Amino acid sequence: MEKEYITIISGGHFEKNVLRVISEDIIREFHYPVIQQVYSFDLSCYYHPGRRQYDANGILKEVLEISPPDSIKSIGLFRVDLFIPILTYIFGQAFLDGNTGIASLFRLKNELYGLEQNNPLLIDRFRKVIIHELGHTFGLIHCPYPNCVMRSSTYVEDLDQKKNCFCKNCREELNRKRGLELMTGR
Ligand SMILES: [Zn+2]
Ligand SMILES: [Zn+2]
């Protein structure tokens, strides 16, 4: 069967209007229809008591396992503090040229950096992380262009600098890769 949609898998509570804008972003940037699913993960098995954080690699693998087989890409959305062994924290993670990515709101909150809570800004940041991680699943690597969503982001300020869309080069690269995917039937 032709893989024709991208799946958003909510692994935490997200408001309907937030999921709607995320779906619209994905449709606009990737030109695939979007399906939304809710899945109750048992995240306790990914909890690292020493770090008081959650193992992103383990969660990413579970998202891959539960992804609908006829979905071209899946992105898992979370609210917990994610880590990988070599980094203090991460905003998201994806299999490069794979099928799955994850993103978390946790480290995107102003309050974490001693600033005032700002919900619209929080959601803006989250949307950029989601498009960025999905970009990786389509094989895109980090981009040097400052405004491009594929620019790597270590701090929330880096996220605030970039736009929630691909630069011309990344867009062309994405189209080229998608053309290849169509030709090879992947
Ligand atoms: Zn990245
Ligand atoms: Zn770019």
For the cut 60, the answer to whether the pLDDT of residue 1 exceeds it is no
The residue from 24, 29, 62, 133 that is catalytic is: 133
CB proximity list for 64: less than 8 A, separation 6 or greater: 74, 95, 98, 99, 100
pTM of the full predicted structure?
Answer: 0.95
Please report how many Cα atoms fall inside a 13 Å half-sphere around the Cα of residue 13, on the Cβ side.
0
Would residue 24 show up in a list of annotated catalytic residues for this protein? no
Nearest 10 degrees: Cα torsion 78, 19, 127, 66: 40
Class of domain 5-184: alpha beta
Mean pLDDT, residues 91-103 taken together: 97
**Residue 184: its pLDDT value, please?**
66
Gap from CA of 164 to ligand 1 centroid (Å): 14
CA of 160 to the centre of ligand 2 (A): 15
Q: Which ligand is nearest to the CA of 135?
A: 1
- CA–centroid distance, residue 140 to ligand 2 (Å): 9
**Is the per-residue pLDDT at 186 higher than 90?**
no
C-alpha of 139 from chain center: 14
Cα 160 from Cα 26, distance rounded (Å): 19
Residues 114, 88: Cα–Cα separation, whole Å: 18
> 147: CA distance to ligand 1 center in Å?
14
Average pLDDT over residues 95-121: 97
Task: State how far the Cα of 162 lies from the Cα of 94, in Å rounded to an integer.
Answer: 19
Residue 38 and residue 98: Cα distance in Å, rounded? 21
Per-residue model confidence (pLDDT) at position 136: 98
Contact 102, 92 (CB under 8 A): yes
